Amino acid sequence: MKIVLKNLSKIFPSRNKKSNGVVVAVDSLDIEIPDGKLVGLLGPSGCGKSTTLYMISGLQKPTMGQVFFGEHDVTMLEPEHRGVGLVFQNYALYPHLTVKQNIMFPLQNLKGEEKLDKEEMLRRAQEAADLVQIGDLMDRKPSELSGGQQQRVAIARALVKAPRVLLLDEPLSNLDARLRLQTREEIRRIQRETGVTTVFVTHDQEEAMSISDIIVVMKNGVKQQVGEPQKVYDDPANLFVAQFLGTPPINVFDGELSGGWLYIGNERVMDVSPDEPDRPVVVGIRPEGFIPSGNGCFSGDLKNIEVMGRDCSVVFTNEKSQKPSVRAIIDSDAGASLIGMSKVSFDLKRNKVFLFESETGDRIRF
Amino acid sequence: MADFSKYTKKDLNVESASRSQRISKIAGNIITYIFLTIMAVIIIFPFYWMIISSLKTMEEYRANVPTLWPQNIYFENFATAFGKANLKDLFLHTLLVGTISTVLSLIVTVLSAFAFARLQFKGKNVVFGLLMATMMVPGELYTITNYLTVSGRLPFASESISALDFTNTFAVLIFPMLVSVFYIYLLRQTFMQIPNELYLAAKVDGTSDFKYLWKVMLPLSVSTIITITILKMMGAWNAYIWPRLVANDAAHQLITNGLRGASFTDEFGETNYPAQMAAVTIVSIPLFLIFVFLRKYIMRGVSRSGIKG
Amino acid sequence: MKKKIDNAQNNVTAADLYDRKTIVKLNRDIGSQNQLKGWIYLAPALLLLLVFSFYPLINTFRMAFLNGYNGLAIVGGESFSVGIENFKTVLAYSDFKQCLLNTILLCVITVPISTILALLIAVALNSIKPLQKVYQTVFFLPYVTNSIAIGMVFNAMFTRVGLGDLVQTQGIINNILGIFGIGPFNFVNVGSSWGANMFVVCTYIVWNAIPFKILVLLGGLQNVNKQYYEAAKIDGTSKVRTFFRITIPLVSPMLAYVIITSFIGGFKEYSSIVGIFGEGMGPGGNGQMNTIVGYVYNMLPKSNLGNASAASLILFGIILIVTAINGYVSKKKVHY
């Protein structure tokens, strides 16, 4: 089922009653989520991504705007009529029911023509449990399961009623690092096998990048960019997106456009369109955008070289960097030749360098 | 393999679903509020009836068709109540007994709670367990022997020792009920929430245990102390059984006993209900005031216990 | 002191140098040196408890098992044989049987009714936003009352006023019932039936018991994670099913607590009835509404101490049994 969010906004009254203020959690969101895709809603905490998810589920009502499932406007529809499955951040498994009872719970709510007999319910519960590979834990109570197993039960419970849309709120945040890697592959697999349109919320860009078909980057309730993860990474719409995606994060410098050239400090780094007016800009350079070169256009004082197998990261300082140190990722052989030097200089890969307006952070395409 | 979409209902009937959900939501709300309002009226009704009855004349109270508001507000009932039930003395007795037993009880409770919460000594856990176990025992079991004890009838004596007969004194209303294991438990829990580091810091600074208790623990436990004070005062105000047994003479009678014992019946055998209701109202007023101003402290204590007063 | 120093390794630990007792002493935290201090702080409470709780407990057992004990004459006079005569006598009294029946009935009737009502009110309160605090305050009102005083108000509401045939008002409750064409009944006046009295007493006890239960149950409901309800809502769970399958199991610990405390309170019921009927424990003082506790207190001034003790031990026994049953059922039914 395709999901369309039109001009969706959620405004809360501010907690501080005296100020009479409001908090805009989600601001005029327009997103189209194609049928059958795995979509990651990504942003720092408080960016409105969970609120958006809850509005899709129907648990929260938008202040303005509409939610469409396919052609249907479901904005005012209660969650039970939407046919969504929701996996809560802390799973919300009923503590007094066994795994089997938890998974069957949604099926037992069906009424009238949809009503299922006991065998059919058990069969579907078993099918859902097998899908998430907990088929042998059916008689346990949630308290007897590990975090990862609870997560799977929650997914099975959400899937068993064959939802039109599967929603996951921070599905990996309560798991330890090892389980996280494993579970995110699992979510990818389950989504592929079922083909259900899936939206999940996360603050972890790596998580979103690794499994999503599409990511939606949000900040302060405003959509920043939508697209396939690699495209968004390679072509960020603004400084925020560029900084939010990628580990290690992008290096940011104060630069200047002058006479068709980009300067960082005194160094003339790159040519730009001569039509660009002269002005200060913000320069973002991905760590993998540096090529060591004896007389490169960009240099700094070497601090440290960390070798990590195939790659190594070169840590150096540059007075125009917005952070104390700059990090470049190059291959180990090239890194080895830099050991012992006090100054390093680089050429830059043009497609790894991004320019942004210093005031707004908007991307400058040069 | 697992194609759940085959189970998904294809049509999403927005129209009828949103109509039915709207109706059920409104209906649910209306039913909830009607239910709560009916129950609230039932809960309030006795208070309402008490107050309006206390303001009616006997004629109006007796009327075949009851009035829901007094036609002439007749305050004289309160004067009658004060006279008939000797309310002034009862108030004074109760206040005296309530205040003294609250203060003493607080001292005893604070000392014990501190010992249980902070001090280390052999046998602590055994004694604490023993005390907790007594919470199971119904007070009636103690009352029989305590009645004998305070009247000087000791098990080894063949008859009552009059020198040890404390019936009809204020002391007998205060001491047997002084220690409440529940209060000790309540305050111990509060004390234990105070971080141990504070105690250690005070020790490092050379603060004595008693000074630490007085200067640090008590100020941090004020709300529990208030809860205990209110419950204890209410206990004195509502005490009935024990006072009736041991100190029911005019010089020591407490308010509840005086109220129940007072005769509002005239020489023809007719009960002056408005005056009785006035007396009941007077007795209830302090409790209402506590309710209005100190409700949260009571609620805090109550939700942790089944006891009343 | 045990000394086992390995010179070659020179690897000495405290365990090698000191025996266990010394280590315990060395490890003792500050503030724990003074054994006496703890007992001094406890002394006032322990002294009072010893005289007014522990001694009575033992003495009550003693009196209960001395046949026909009347509290007098051990020195020189008649002595009492040990046995269970008191229990036999008490259980044979028709008065006591009536008290026992009344008490049990009061519990069996009022505990379920007040618990169900309180649960419904608590759930309703928990589901509303506007006016929640106002309603909550109202429902807590009966808690902070004097049970004797309000018992008198209940008496007034149910009493008809007037002498003999000259009945003038039937009492407000009969008036209200009259609107629906019911009654009038003789609820509490002289000559009223045991059933009518029971109705009045139960009504009062339920009214009086509700606030505490609402408070505890509402506290329990408010502690239930909202996400369980959201999850149920997503799955289209009906209100009724949510109530039975989610709400009740999740507040079952509070329900168990409320039920056990009100059973114990119910078996000790006394002052509500004094409030309504006076110490006569029945219309015109006929004692037909008397309870176990009432029976114990009636025995006291008569110096019927053996019987009073036996009766109070029977009460204790009942409370222990009820607590044990409740504990057993809770273990089976109460979740986590």
C246 contacts chain A (CB < 8 A): yes
CB neighbour burial string for A221-256, b if at least 16 within 10 angstroms, e if fewer: bbbbbbbebeebbeebbbbbbbbbbbeebbbbbebb
Task: Report the half-sphere exposure of C31 (CA within 13 A, side-chain side).
Answer: 24
C156 contacts chain B (CB < 8 A): yes
From chain C, the residues in CB contact with A95 under 8 A are: 250, 335-336
Neighbours of chain A (3+ CB pairs under 8 A): B, C
Q: What is the pLDDT of residues C29-88, one digit of tens each?
A: 555 556 788 899 999 999 999 999 999 999 899 888 988 777 665 544 557 778 888 898
Distance CA A58, CA A73 (A): 12
User: What do you get for the CA distance between the two ends of chain B, in Å?
Assistant: 66
Chain mean pLDDT for chain C: 84
Residue that the structure tokens 């209306």 belong to: B30
CA dihedral B152, B157, B158, B159 (to 10 degrees): -10
Of the partner residues A72, A159, A193, the one whose CB lies closest to the CB of residue B14: A72
From chain C, the residues in CB contact with A97 under 8 A are: 245, 249
List the CATH code of the domain at A3-244: 3.40.50.300
Q: Biggest alpha carbon distance in chain C? A: 112
A185 contacts chain B (CB < 8 A): no
From chain A, the residues in CB contact with B21 under 8 A are: 77-78, 80-81
Does residue B23 fall inside a structural domain?
A: no
Q: Which of A56, A77, A94 is most worth mutating to test chain C (most C CB atoms within 10 A of its CB)?
A: A94
CB atoms B17 and A81 under 8 Å = yes
From chain A, the residues in CB contact with C238 under 8 A are: 109
pLDDT of B6: 65
Q: How far is CA B145 from CA B153, C89, C266, C301, in A?
A: 9, 20, 23, 12
From chain A, the residues in CB contact with B7 under 8 A are: 124, 161-162
- DSSP H helical ranges for B194-272: 196-204, 209-212, 218-220, 222-238, 241-246, 255-261
A176 contacts chain B (CB < 8 A): no
From chain B, the residues in CB contact with C273 under 8 A are: none
Give the full edge-to-edge strand order of the sheet including A251-258. Answer: A267-271, A261-264, A251-258, A279-285, A353-357, A363-364
Highest mean pLDDT among A18-32, B38-52, C248-262: B38-52
For residue C325, the domain's CATH number is 1.10.3720.10
Does residue B19 fall inside a structural domain?
A: no
C129 contacts chain A (CB < 8 A): no
Does residue C30 fall inside a structural domain?
A: no
Give the full edge-to-edge strand order of the sheet including A38-42. Answer: A84-87, A165-169, A197-202, A38-42, A214-219, A222-227
For residue A12, what are its two tokens? 């809360």
In angstroms, the separation between the Cα of residue B33 and the nearest Cα of chain A is 22
Distance CA C50, CA A315 (A): 76
Of the partner residues C71, C141, C163, the one whose CB lies closest to the CB of residue B44: C141
From chain C, the residues in CB contact with A128 under 8 A are: none
From chain A, the residues in CB contact with B6 under 8 A are: 162
pLDDT of C8: 45
Does residue B77 fall inside a structural domain?
A: no
Is residue A214 within 8 Å of residue A40, measured between CB atoms? yes
Higher pLDDT, A17 or A117: A117
For residue B196, the domain's CATH number is 1.10.3720.10
Does residue B119 fall inside a structural domain?
A: yes
pLDDT over 90 (residue C12): no
Q: How many domains does chain C have?
A: 1
Residue that the structure tokens 């004020």 belong to: B222
Chain mean pLDDT for chain A: 90
Q: What is the pLDDT of residues A71-99, one digit of tens each?
A: 889 988 888 888 899 999 888 899 888 99
Q: Label residue B206 by pLDDT band (50, 70, 90).
A: confident
CB atoms C230 and A105 under 8 Å = no
pLDDT over 80 (residue B154): no
For residue A170, what are its two tokens? 């921070």
For residues A267-287, average pLDDT: 90
Taking residue B127's Cβ as centre, other Cβ atoms within 10 Å add up to 19
Q: Are strands A165-169 and A3-13 parallel, antiparallel or unpaired?
A: unpaired
Does residue C51 fall inside a structural domain?
A: no
Does residue C252 fall inside a structural domain?
A: yes
Length of chain B, please? 309
From chain B, the residues in CB contact with C154 under 8 A are: 46
Does residue B62 fall inside a structural domain?
A: no
Residue type, A244: F
pLDDT over 50 (residue B306): no
Q: Which of B39, B118, B237, B295 is most worth mutating to test chain C (most C CB atoms within 10 A of its CB)?
A: B39
Would the pTM count as exceeding 0.90? no
CB atoms A109 and C237 under 8 Å = yes
Distance CA C35, CA B119 (A): 9
Does residue B184 fall inside a structural domain?
A: yes
Q: Label residue A53 by pLDDT band (50, 70, 90).
A: very high
Which residues, in sequence order, are CB contacts of B205 under 8 Å at separation 6+?
none
From chain B, the residues in CB contact with C285 under 8 A are: none
For residue A328, what are its two tokens? 């470049």
Q: Label residue B309 by pLDDT band (50, 70, 90).
A: very low
B268 contacts chain A (CB < 8 A): no
pLDDT of C266: 92
Taking residue A83's Cβ as centre, other Cβ atoms within 10 Å add up to 20
Task: Report the half-sphere exposure of A247 (CA within 13 A, side-chain side).
Answer: 7
Domain boundaries, chain A: 3-244, 251-364
pLDDT of B8: 67
Distance CA A230, CA A243 (A): 14
Taking residue B77's Cβ as centre, other Cβ atoms within 10 Å add up to 25
CB atoms A130 and B8 under 8 Å = no
pLDDT of B51: 93
pLDDT over 70 (residue C269): yes
pLDDT over 50 (residue A143): yes
Is residue B94 within 8 Å of residue B237, measured between CB atoms? yes
A13 contacts chain C (CB < 8 A): no
C240 contacts chain A (CB < 8 A): no
What is the residue range of C291's domain? 87-333
A84 contacts chain C (CB < 8 A): yes
Is residue A254 within 8 Å of residue A320, measured between CB atoms? yes
A142 contacts chain B (CB < 8 A): no
User: What value of ipTM does the predicted structure carry?
Assistant: 0.86
**Residue in C64, C19, C79, C97 with CA at minimum distance from that of residue C309:** C64
In angstroms, the separation between the Cα of residue B32 and the nearest Cα of chain C is 6
Taking residue C140's Cβ as centre, other Cβ atoms within 10 Å add up to 21
Q: What is the pLDDT of residues B17-71, one digit of tens each?
A: 777 778 888 888 899 999 999 999 999 999 999 999 999 888 888 877 788 888 8
Length of chain A, please? 366
Compare all CA atoms of chain A with the CA of B2 and give the residue at the minimum distance: A194
Distance CA A83, CA A163 (A): 5
Q: Which of A88, A91, A145 is most worth mutating to test chain C (most C CB atoms within 10 A of its CB)?
A: A88
CB atoms A74 and B12 under 8 Å = yes
Does residue B100 fall inside a structural domain?
A: yes
Q: How far is CA B181 from CA A30, A343, C40, C254, in A?
A: 63, 77, 17, 22
Which residues, in sequence order, are CB contacts of C278 under 8 Å at separation 6+?
B260, C285
CA angle C145, C151, C153 (to 5 degrees): 95
DSSP state of C54: I
pLDDT of C26: 60
What is the residue range of B106's domain? 85-262
- The torsion angles phi and psi of A6, rounded to 5 degrees, stand at -115, 115
